[in-house]
Amino acid sequence: MTKSPREHDRDRALYEFHLACPRPTAEQIIEWTERYPQFAEDIRIHAAISLDWNAADSLGRPAEIAISKTMMARAHSRVLNALFLSETQVTAPEVKGAAGFHEILESRGQKVHVVAKELNIGRDVLADLFNGWMTEPVGRVLVDAVRGFLGISEAAFQSAYYHAFNNPKFQHAKSSGPPIIPRRSYEEVIAGSNMSSERKKYWMGEI
């Protein structure tokens, strides 16, 4: 059966919650139910299941689930759907309706040059990442820095990355040739940046 857009959105929200909050706290549950109020019940059920599973693992015994079997079965099925979706979509294809880095910046009223200044990184490096020109894997130092500045989860970063990568901005060739997508690896982007040698070493994780 083909899923509706709402069901895909629900599975994606559950998967992001699953990644970001493997042992969800009360504060995290409140945060995520406010972020996705339309899926609040599913998030609460998944949180209860996660906590029970974690408790069972730590005690070495089966969990005593304090929710109905029907609710548990439904939530468990949805989590499995979300995990399956991650295997078939997160590793390469774009998530329908996802926002790229430029959209996230726009929603926050930010500009690329401001982010570059705050992070003390070459604007050209961020342009390659945000424009969908940087191939995987993206350096962990940069991932954490961008996530921290934007206040987004690992899953949200990955979603933005794949959205940008699958919808890259074209760069006009210097000659009369057609527009191109100047894709390079993370290492090549850092090496070719106009940053100082010290900053290049930092972003390469050598400092």
166 and 134 belong to one structural domain: yes
* Domain-located, residue 127: yes
Instruction: Return the pLDDT at 178.
Output: 63
* Domain-located, residue 121: yes
14 and 81 belong to one structural domain: yes
Instruction: Give yes or no for a contact between 125 and 65, defined as CB atoms under 8 angstroms apart.
Output: no
Here the tokens at position 44 are 């609460």
Residue after which a domain boundary falls, among 44, 70, 90: 90
11 and 83 belong to one structural domain: yes
Instruction: Return the pLDDT at 195.
Output: 93
pTM to 2 decimal places: 0.52
Q: How many domains does the chain have?
A: 2
* Domain-located, residue 71: yes
* Domain-located, residue 124: yes
Instruction: Return the pLDDT at 16.
Output: 82
75 and 130 belong to one structural domain: no
3-state DSSP helix/strand/coil % of the chain, to nearest 5: 65, 0, 35
* Domain-located, residue 116: yes
31 and 121 belong to one structural domain: no
Q: How far apart are the first and last CA of the chain?
A: 52
132 and 84 belong to one structural domain: no
* Domain-located, residue 26: yes
15 and 85 belong to one structural domain: yes
118 and 70 belong to one structural domain: no
Instruction: Return the pLDDT at 33.
Output: 85
CA atoms within 13 A on the CB side of 43: 26
190 and 135 belong to one structural domain: yes
Q: What are phi and psi of 204, to 5 degrees?
A: -90, 0
Q: Which residues of the chain have pLDDT under 70?
A: 1-5, 51-98, 171-179
Residue after which a domain boundary falls, among 69, 90, 111: 90
* Domain-located, residue 96: no
57 and 120 belong to one structural domain: no
189 and 129 belong to one structural domain: yes
> Which structural domain, as residue segments, surrounds residue 143?
101-203
Residue after which a domain boundary falls, among 38, 59, 90: 90
**Beta-ladder partners of 184:** 134
Instruction: Return the pLDDT at 64.
Output: 43
Here the tokens at position 29 are 């549950």
* Domain-located, residue 31: yes
Q: Which residues contact 54 (CB under 8 A, 6 or more apart)?
A: 22, 23
Helix (H, G, I), strand (E, B) or coil at 177: coil
81 and 160 belong to one structural domain: no
